[in-house]
Amino acid sequence: MIDQGNGADVMYPDLYRGLGLKKQDLSKYDSPLMGFDGHMVIPGGQISLSVIMGGWEVLVTFIVVASFSPYTEIFGRPWIHDMGAVPSTLHVKIKFQTEEVITVIRGDQHVARHCLAIAAIEQTKQREPVENPPL
């Protein structure tokens, strides 16, 4: 997800584990963040990783947050500025200039809504207690 209002680049547990990262790979990050639900979140740390998008590579410092999100990561203003990117939520695309051309990456709202619905269902299943079936 690309969020122009987010002042940090954030990574969530699914991506962190999927990349095979360990706790010792993180450096310390002490500042709390405000979650989407309005609650303060204490990050687990931060890590700098190279991200390649549209053939363009940028070093991104992700703040690792262990909380629920339907996203694996959120690129905020630091990444947007480093890329010189122009995001458009209306057009579901982002543009940035590489050395020779303007690169356009398009999103898909239908797929995004489907993924969000699945994530919400999975989160609800994890919260609901399992009852014993009647005998």
pLDDT by 10-residue block (mean), the chain, 135 residues: 84 86 90 79 91 86 85 87 88 85 83 72 59 40
The residue ranges of every structural domain in the chain are 9-127
Say what the pTM is. 0.74
Per-residue model confidence (pLDDT) at position 54: 80
Q: What is d(CA 70, CA 65) in angstroms, rounded to the nearest whole number?
A: 13
Looking at residue 98, its pLDDT comes to 80
DSSP strand pairing (33-34 vs 86-88): unpaired
9-127 classified as CATH 1.20.1300: no
- Report residue 129 as tokens: 């207690």
- Residue 44 in contact with residue 65, Cβ under 8 Å? yes
